[in-house]
Amino acid sequence: MIWYPYEQMKTMRQPYKIVDAEGVYLYTEDQKLIDSISSWWCMIHGYKHPELNEAIKSQVDRFSHVMLGGLTHDPVLKLSEKLREWLPGDLDYCFFSDSGSVAVEVALKMALQFNTNRDSSRDTVLALEHAYHGDTFKAMEVGDDEDYHFAFSKKAGVMHIPTEIPALEEAFERYHDKLTCFIVEPLLQGAGGMRMYDISFLQRARKLCDEYDVLLIFDEVATGFGRTGNRFVADLVCPDILVLGKALTGGYIGHAVTVANHKVFDGFYSDDNRHALMHGPTFMGNALACSVALKGIEIFERENYMAKVKKIEEIMRREMEGFWDPRIRQVRVMGGCVCIEVCDPDTLQGFWQFAYERGVFSRPFLNCMYAMVPYIIKEEELVQILDTMKAWYQS
């Protein structure tokens, strides 16, 4: 029996069984569906991409995986070199892991141990209201090995603020001597309800972090690789630690990376073994994941994906212009993301089936009907998704 995610198993509807997938399309036995949410936002190149398939196949014939403990290999060396050159600022040090949640844990551990290593007593993480940074919980705390966990023996407290500059300023003024880091999903809070906010908030955050020596962490697991209309939000405001996942491997294999700048890395670089970063996921730097990520970045650049995202945003704005219904609270568009927020989540009951019948796979959550499309989508396919979303309110 499969235990499905985020579902009440007693009342959940039957999931659609996918038998094939290609480009933006998912195929069930009897329907062809445009995937309007890119398999939880990661499948930016579309399914069954010939070059991505080839990248994995040729790596399988060499080796699929070797651990990074005491070993290294070309795919991980090349990917870290590519990221060093591709990412902004001095974000040069790549720590790989198998999922976005774990990569966020690594970022927070980096920030906490960065402070332990310099004998600082700071122990509080600043975060945003409505934030989502993954689903992991307590694995390290239930472990009992001093060698792995000594740097994290203090329990980090977390404080949440809204995405408003006065609240940000107040938090830094009052608590700066307690703050280790400030973690945000920059510009677009995804799973917390597709909430969008202004870059000026992040610019102010960067200044305050510099002023008070607090590390700034961008969780770009969802926003990275063009989703907000920027390649990375980090291109606009550069964090000290950047977390990437989801689209990193084009939706082929779970993998993520926590990228640190020189300041963070230097806080661990010493003659003292106890200053080493005590983390190491079994599948970090997986050779298949690194190979497919490298090829994905090559395609992203070569095919000028940022122009594609700009075009997607234009079409979304054009099609949504003037669209309204009394049940709707707000329609929002940013980059390759559109969200219709409704006042009452019950308004969206049955939309899955409605969309299925019209050849679209959609999965509303909370009070959000949304699309985060693959970047290879054609105009008529995107319009079909948007028409389906709008038609729901006329039905």
Closest CB to ligand PLP among residues 25, 95: 95
| Measured distance CA(58)–CA(371) in Å, rounded | 33
User: Catalytic: 147?
Assistant: no
Of 55, 104, 294, 386, the one binding ligand PLP (CB under 6 A) is: 104
- The C-alpha R_g of the chain, in whole angstroms, comes to 21
CB of 256 to ligand PLP, least distance (A): 6
Tokens of 19: 């038998």
- Residue 314 corresponds to which tokens in the numbers above? 């234009």
- Tell me if residue 219 is catalytic: yes
Judged by CB under 6 A, the stretch of 13-21, 218-226, 265-273, 306-314 that binds ligand PLP is 218-226
Cβ closer to ligand PLP: 46 or 134?
134
Note whether 241 and 215 are within 8 A (CB).
yes
Q: With contacts defined by CB under 6 A, how many residues of the chain interact with ligand PLP?
A: 16
**Min CB(301)–ligand PLP separation in Å:** 23
The two three-digit tokens of residue 218, written as one number: 């961008």
One residue of 43, 107, 187, 219 binding ligand PLP per CB under 6 A = 219
6 as an active site residue: the answer is yes
Span from 16-24, 97-105, 201-209, 284-292 in contact with ligand PLP (CB under 6 A): 97-105
46: contact with ligand PLP by CB under 6 A: no
Q: Interaction with ligand PLP in 171-190: which residues (CB under 6 A)? A: 185, 190
Burial-class residue 353 by CB neighbours within 10 Å (0-12, 13-18, 19+). exposed
In the chain, how many H helices and how many E strands? 13, 16
How many residues are recorded in the chain?
Answer: 395
Stretch near ligand PLP under the rule CB under 6 A, chosen from 31-39, 132-140, 334-342, 374-382 = 132-140
> Helix 287-302 to helix 305-320 angle, to the nearest 10 degrees?
70
Left if phi > 0, otherwise alpha if psi is -120 to 50, otherwise beta: which for 357?
Answer: alpha
Burial code (b: 16+ CB inside 10 Å, e: under 16) for 151-183 equals: bbeeebeeeebebeeeebeebbeebbebbbbbb
How far apart are the C-alpha atoms of 127 and 214, rounded to whole Å?
A: 13
DSSP assignments along 275-286, one per residue: GS-----TTTT-
Closest distance between ligand PLP and the C-beta of residue 192, in Å?
A: 9
The residue among 216 and 315 lying less far from ligand PLP, judged by its C-beta, is 216
Set 246, 252, 305, 370: catalytic member: 246
Contact string 221-250 vs ligand PLP (x = CB under 6 A): xx----------------------xx----
Task: Indicate which single residue of 79, 87, 181, 191 sits in contact with ligand PLP (rule: CB under 6 A).
Answer: 191
- Is residue 197 annotated as a catalytic residue, yes or no? no
- Taking CB under 6 A as the binding criterion, the range among 44-52, 111-119, 219-227, 350-358 that sits at the site for ligand PLP is 219-227
Q: Does 336 bind ligand PLP (CB under 6 A)?
A: no
The yes or no reply on residue 133 touching ligand PLP (CB under 6 A) is yes
Instruction: Show Cβ contacts of residue 358 under 8 Å, excluding neighbours closer than 6 positions.
Output: 384, 388, 391
Positions annotated as catalytic residues are 6, 132, 219, 246
Q: Which chain residues interact with ligand PLP by CB under 6 A?
A: 99-101, 104, 132-134, 185, 190-191, 219, 221-222, 245-246, 254
